[in-house]
Chain A
């Protein structure tokens, strides 16, 4: 039995007529799927994760990866997934680990929301011929502006506005920690953030010194493990982020296995080589909102009052929590929905804890407005933003900007095989093995990420033009331009969105 009753998930087929035995696949597979014997390439099917590195680089197109067609007897309750998981756990006695975001077929609300467009009475605007503005300022805004004329007759701004972060498109890069992703991946993202005039977050793993020159586009994270946190680090960038929780694993800490901690990671994280980097579930100096306030102001003091962002996972009580965070002094609230990505998380938490980002944006935005404090913080929304349409819908629901993690990695070649936690990433993205890391050229990667976001920016402008507005601030929180399809009344009310078929004047809140 070889100790397992599990059958491989994928079958690797080699077309022997095509294969010229160059053995590139042996080298390319980070998971050791291939061997060579008796003049033949021999795949070990159970090692294949369907990352397609071998398929992509086989010069003869001789490799095909297919899902193992092995059929279980139909059972609507005991699905193959459940059966396989029982097999795995009865063999290992361990918690099941995974990477990337929640892959269960929960209803994706973005896919049940549609945008409006102009016809006749409000002309659409042509983004090819007219300006379309995506510039966004993230941070705290005052309630009122005071403009005073001085004795020389010059008008001056009297209100002191706290530091804001200017981004030229409402998309930023989500925190992915150094250690979970490779240096080259991080560098590609830094370069993209700089070129696009937007920003990236470091994850909890610190920032390698070689990337300090990109500081004008970086928000530095301070997480529960405090890995890599020093006064110098905190001051490299344009702001700091306190990580309370992550959408993929709300309520639990991070886990970077020792295998992913070679010399360079050890130096940046300030921990010994090869030790597991376990960040605690809570921040042990934050057991209450007043503790959070102290850390927010400690970071402000340490950085000359640069904006502080607080990142939380979207959970049931997210609106009240976000309100507390804003009142505690945060300048940005980062909401991470339950489909958000991760380098490593227990399956049970990734797949069953948290709420969708669409809901979190809507309820947080509404709550902050009800309390009259929406201007005191910007909302950054993350947790599986897959395309420009998701960005538009998230902004219409009330976000100031969206953060992308997985989408940027896919631009670098990631095939969402969900094996980041193994450290074997064949694409050189989620690995620290030098031979794998070297496969990813940061310049090439940055170009692809920039292409992606430039394409998205063009698409967002197209949507704005169709909506007849030429500045992104007119889309932000403008739920009037969204409609729901196939959503029940309760979830529509939670989202604050009308169903498709209801026009603008058909019913207003206060008059039937």
Chain B
């Protein structure tokens, strides 16, 4: 593996934007914002998540696949064919650039699970997709699912954000929600699959920090059927959001009570009903507490969220400008695309910043 541990300081640049009225913009703005955060990356990983980019195929799960070899592609396509109807498939458009050397091959498939497999054991379509994604990532050599949600996609790889943007022709996509990440890898080697965002279904997570509780978060998720396979601590956040919100239906306003829980001394001071709820959340979901320095931005088909750890050991700034919500690792990332924004704030430790998209 690459020897990265000794020379790196922590960093990672995050930026995101969401228009609650679902007004779409192309990928130039988020690229510009990320370019401004260059000091937070080292060229060993960058990526973008875009929501609302496949409006005419929005009912299909969009599987973005990354292949190291022809065999990987063939084996994966056989597997997908066995379990899904493929409505359409195509190579993900890329352009040759000077800075990207020897990239893997990218394809996307618009699919639905075959009816005969549903419902299995009370599984939903989403649970079915998760299992198949986990299988490809762990069981098929040289293949990797970059994203698997509906009407969204992730584009990521090794390079600086502007290189990745150029490589994937990000300027050609139009999205109402954009997330960008620039990576400064410390704990794990730089490989294309290891760049952020990390995804499952439509959840996409970018992360700055290091999850010191990773070991137990991973084991807790495994108990619930999620296999952590991406050589990084960050992916647990995506799975935890999926588990808590989609599967366990924990109301959004309580998610931070699990992931970045308030201290007992504060919980003990709450009124009876709230104290009961928060105490129970910590008792039951203690293994899902994400401990250690982090700032994360999470996208999904319902909107955008930001969260930092319970003592805020990583920076996070948010801003609202009309229908736009911005969350970034620093104000400069926001000012670059919204220079005159007034409503800028620094979310408190453990405060979940929530942007919700209005219904169509």
Contacts and interface: CB of A to CB of B under 8 A. Distances in A.
Contact of A470 (B137, B189, B214, B310): B310
Given A120-B9, A145-B281, A505-B188, A478 B310 contact: no
Contacts of B189: 505
B215 A481 contact: yes
Contacts of A121: 8-10, 186-187, 210
A140 to B, nearest CB: 10
B127 to A, nearest CB: 15
Contacts of B335: none
B269 interface: no
Given A468-B292, A469-B291, A503-B5, A480 B223 contact: no
Contact of A506 (B1, B254, B264): B1
Nearest to A368: B223
Interface in B202-229: 209-210, 212-216, 218-220, 222-224, 227-229
B291 A470 contact: yes
A156 interface: yes
A285 B124 CA distance: 45
A68 interface: no
A130 B189 CA distance: 32
A293 interface: no
A393 interface: no
B162 interface: no
B284 interface: yes
Interface in A466-508: 467-471, 473-481, 503-506, 508
Contacts of A85: none
Contact of A504 (B187, B227, B249, B250): B187
Nearest to B283: A137
Interface stretch (B38-46, B270-278, B337-345): B270-278
B236 to A, nearest CB: 11
A448 B113 CA distance: 65
Contacts of B150: none
Interface string B245-267: 00011110010000001011100
Contact of A133 (B188, B212, B228, B264): B264
A137 B287 CA distance: 13
A511 interface: yes
Nearest to A137: B283
A476 B9 contact: no
A145 B188 CA distance: 34
A155 B264 contact: no
Interface string B282-303: 1111110101110000000000
Contacts of A504: 187-188, 214, 233
A467 B292 CA distance: 9
B199 interface: no
Interface residues of B, number: 58
Contacts of B188: 504-505
A120 B232 contact: no
Nearest to B309: A470
A505 B231 contact: yes
B29 to A, nearest CB: 30
Nearest to A149: B251
A477 B265 contact: no
B280 A374 contact: no
Contacts of B72: none
B210 A372 contact: no
A279 interface: no
A511 B276 contact: no
Nearest to B281: A145
B118 interface: no
A121 B219 CA distance: 23
A135 B233 CA distance: 26
B23 interface: no
Contacts of A505: 1, 187-189, 231-232
A122 B215 contact: no
B332 interface: no
A197 interface: no
Contacts of A506: 1
Contact of A147 (B1, B210, B213, B250): B250
Contacts of B281: 145
A131 interface: yes
Contacts of A149: 251
B277 to A, nearest CB: 5
B210 A510 contact: no
A137 B215 CA distance: 21
Contacts of A480: 214-216, 218
B311 interface: yes
Given A155-B251, A470-B311, A511-B229, A375 B284 contact: yes
A123 interface: yes
A508 B1 contact: no
Nearest to B10: A121
A264 interface: no
> Which of B214, B251, B265, B284 has the largest number of chain A CB atoms within 10 A?
B284
A474 B213 contact: yes
A469 B284 contact: no
B28 interface: no
Contacts of A511: 138, 229, 231
Interface in A123-140: 123, 125, 130-131, 133, 135, 137
25 contacts: A120-B8, A121-B186, A121-B187, A121-B210, A125-B311, A144-B248, A145-B248, A145-B284, A156-B277, A161-B280, A369-B223, A467-B212, A468-B212, A468-B292, A471-B261, A474-B213, A476-B216, A477-B219, A478-B215, A480-B218, A505-B1, A505-B187, A505-B188, A505-B231, A508-B229
Given A121-B187, A468-B293, A469-B291, 8 more contacts: A120-B8, A121-B9, A133-B263, A142-B284, A369-B222, A478-B213, A478-B214, A481-B212
Interface of B: 1, 5, 8-10, 137-138, 186-189, 209-210, 212-216, 218-220, 222-224, 227-229, 231-233, 248-251, 254, 261, 263-265, 273-274, 276-277, 280-287, 289, 291-293, 310-311, 313
8 nearest A-B pairs in the assembled complex, by CB-CB distance: A480-B215, A505-B188, A473-B286, A474-B291, A474-B213, A478-B215, A122-B210, A478-B216
